[in-house]
Amino acid sequence: MARNGGVAWMRTTDKIDGYDLSTSDTEEVHVLAVDDSLVDRKVIERLLRISSCKVTAVDSGRRALQYLGLDEEIQKKETNGFDGLKVDLIITDYCMPGMTGYELLKKVKESSAFREIPVVIMSSENVIARIDRCLEEGAEDFIVKPVKLSDVKRIIDYTTTELREGEQREGARAKRRGINKRKQREGDDDLSSSPPSTLSSSTSSPSSSIQSATAPSSPSTLDSPTRRLKMTSSE
Amino acid sequence: MDVVNQLQRQFIDYSASLHREGFLDDQFTQLQKLQDDNSPDFVVEVASLFFEDCEKLINNMARALEQQQGVDFKQVDASVHQLKGSSSSIGAMRVKDVCIAFRSFCEAQNRE
């Protein structure tokens, strides 16, 4: 694969059929890392590789969208829409010129193809308002830099759990997406008390308890409460 | 072999003193742990990238500060912010601390 601009490729395999979560050779998580700083990119890349992940590092939000195939200027008409490996997790810096991590987060969450992908934001500034805003927009987690191995391990751990659960939930989720579109915007505080596997059962009971989204946030056990914009309550 | 041992000891002593004097912090130790046989030059590579980054940023800052028609503190601040980020990622604690101080000068628009 050719090297281009700010994109570092590790290796590509032919997993073009997107939802092939049970990968045949390995169960490596594929992470898309986005950071404008070369030093930070190098560090995060290493942290991820040591945690047995495949990494694609890019230097801007724009390039990240291009990689995903979401860039408006570059129309990707593939039905599966993946430019390479399926991305299991996006980890991005907040402060970047051009498109901030927050804007990238929004774009990912707005896309139907990619909103399921958990997005983690990194920032050197520990600003509560910023953290809240990101979590509200659907970020999985918010890490304060400098990033340590323990941070990365934690994220990979629950992403891997997510993926495994995802196989079970996939069908349920698809159904839920249609019915409960508005629910995506609602809080998921309940999740913290229930183990992730309960999600599949939640579809059968359209309870009044607000269940969160399909989307990214399920890993409940973490201390990052994902709060959503409350639109309506149950159906 | 003796020479190797000596060098190793010197390295350890030097590292320890850098930590003690506050030049390096725990993040640097973290990075050292990430180095292994698969990536034997990791620390060197990151450090080199850091130095290049520093050079570029410091040049930017110098240029911004030398402006005759008035210093663009926003630009200086942006560079310092980036430098602070890189230095904190690599564990260059002192550099990071200096950056923090520097930024408050920028905010105060204090050229001195």
pLDDT at A138: 92
- CA of A178 vs chain B CAs: smallest distance (Å): 42
pLDDT at A90: 94
Whether chain B has a CB inside 8 Å of the CB on A129: the answer is no
Looking at the DSSP bridge assignments, the partners of residue A54 are A30
Residues from chain A that touch B90, judged by Cβ atoms under 8 A, are 39, 43
pLDDT at B30: 85
Q: How many CB pairs under 8 A join A and B?
A: 52
Residues from chain A that touch B25, judged by Cβ atoms under 8 A, are none
pLDDT reading at A59 higher than 70: yes
User: Across all residues in chain B, what is the average pLDDT?
Assistant: 82
The pLDDT > 70 percentage for chain A reads 53
Per-residue pLDDT averaged across A149-175, rounded? 78
Could B88 and A146 be called an inter-chain contact, meaning their C-beta atoms sit closer than 8 Å?
A: yes
Per-residue pLDDT averaged across A89-97, rounded? 92
pLDDT at A160: 83
Whether chain A has a CB inside 8 Å of the CB on B73: the answer is no
- CA of B108 vs chain A CAs: smallest distance (Å): 20
Residues from chain A that touch B82, judged by Cβ atoms under 8 A, are 37
pLDDT at B110: 64
B1-108: in CATH 1.20.120.160: yes
pLDDT reading at A63 higher than 50: yes
pLDDT at A107: 92
- CA of A35 vs chain B CAs: smallest distance (Å): 11
Find the CB nearest B89 among A40, A49, A149.
A40
pLDDT confidence bin for A199, thresholds 50/70/90: very low
Per-residue pLDDT averaged across A60-89, rounded? 71
Lowest mean pLDDT among A29-33, A105-109, A198-202, B86-90: A198-202
Q: Domains of chain B: which residue ranges?
A: 1-108
pLDDT at A72: 63
User: For residue A151, what is the nearest residue in chain B, using CA coordinates?
Assistant: B30
- CA of B53 vs chain A CAs: smallest distance (Å): 8
pLDDT confidence bin for B80, thresholds 50/70/90: confident
- CA of A25 vs chain B CAs: smallest distance (Å): 21
Q: Mean pLDDT: which of A13-17, A145-149, A194-198, A226-230 is highest?
A: A145-149
Task: Select the more confidently predicted residue: B24 or A163.
Answer: B24
pLDDT at A171: 63
Whether chain A has a CB inside 8 Å of the CB on B60: the answer is no
pLDDT at A193: 43
Residues from chain A that touch B45, judged by Cβ atoms under 8 A, are 42
User: Across all residues in chain A, what is the average pLDDT?
Assistant: 70
Burial (0-12, 13-18, 19+ Cβ within 10 Å), A192: middle
Per-residue pLDDT averaged across B91-112, rounded? 76
pLDDT confidence bin for A15, thresholds 50/70/90: very low
pLDDT confidence bin for A73, thresholds 50/70/90: low
The CATH architecture annotation of domain A30-172 reads 3-Layer(aba) Sandwich (3.40)
pLDDT at B17: 83
Find the CB nearest A37 among B42, B45, B86.
B86
Could A40 and B50 be called an inter-chain contact, meaning their C-beta atoms sit closer than 8 Å?
A: no
Task: Select the more confidently predicted residue: B4 or A182.
Answer: B4
